[in-house]
């Protein structure tokens, strides 16, 4: 899992677009550096925060986005909408590792816990979401959930 911002920080729209378009390379673990835009890579078997992923608001989404829903007809599967602004093709996949999703930015239609999304042997995953959840109190941000060990 590659994080391009520190916990409690937002991902600037331009940096998110660079990640989604594959223009960001060379990750290092600089978790103690707290500078905006710095990265952290967590390897398989290590624990990570179980963030909530929500629909992006006010952002330009790059990377040929697809919209994903948990399948209503096949438990454990995902319904995927390709070309959401155009022809809108729909397929159902058993895994987010499905080759048809390679190279796409995956957007989740409903709020999802990261632990509901990650799967064993998923390979490199780039987290292009802000790493905080609003608590509803003015001026506060708080992490939701515990740790997730994929």
**What pLDDT digit, counting tens, does each position of 12-55 carry?**
777 777 777 777 655 444 444 444 445 677 888 888 888 888 87
Q: Is the full-model pTM beyond 0.75?
A: no
Residue 29's DSSP bridge partners are none
Q: Which residue has the tokens 């990261």?
A: 114
Burial of 140 (0-12, 13-18, 19+ CB in 10 A): exposed
In the numeric block, which tokens belong to residue 42?
A: 């967590």
| Domain count of the fold of the chain | 1
Number of separate helices (H) and strands (E) present in the chain: 2, 13
Picking from 53-57, 118-122, 133-137, which range would have the lowest pLDDT averaged per residue? 133-137
Segment 58-65 mean pLDDT:
76
pLDDT recorded at residue 132: 67
Domain limits at 69?
2-148
85: Cβ contacts below 8 Å, ≥ 6 apart: none
Bridge partners, residue 142, by sequence: 133
Within 10 angstroms of residue 11's Cβ, the number of other Cβ atoms is 21
Bridge partner residues of 140 (DSSP): none
State whether residue 133 is helix, strand or coil: strand
Rounded to the nearest integer, the mean pLDDT of the chain is 75
Rounded Cα–Cα distance for residues 37 and 2 (Å)? 12
């Amino acid at each position: 899992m590659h994080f391009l911002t520190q916990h409690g920080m937002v991902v600037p729209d331009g940096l998110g677009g660079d990640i989604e378009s594959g223009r960001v390379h060379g990750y290092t673990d600089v978790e103690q550096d707290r500078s905006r835009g710095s990265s952290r890579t967590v390897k398989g078997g290590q624990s990570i925060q179980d963030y909530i992923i929500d629909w992006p608001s006010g952002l330009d989404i790059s990377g040929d986005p697809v919209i994903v829903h948990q399948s209503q007809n096949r438990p454990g599967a995902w319904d995927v909408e390709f070309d959401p602004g155009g022809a809108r093709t729909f397929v159902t996949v058993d895994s987010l590792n499905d080759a048809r999703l390679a190279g796409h930015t995956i957007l989740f239609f409903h709020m999802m816990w990261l632990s509901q999304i990650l799967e064993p042997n998923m390979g490199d995953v780039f987290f292009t979401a802000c790493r905080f959840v609003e608590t509803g109190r003015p001026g506060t941000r708080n992490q939701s959930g515990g740790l997730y060990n994929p």
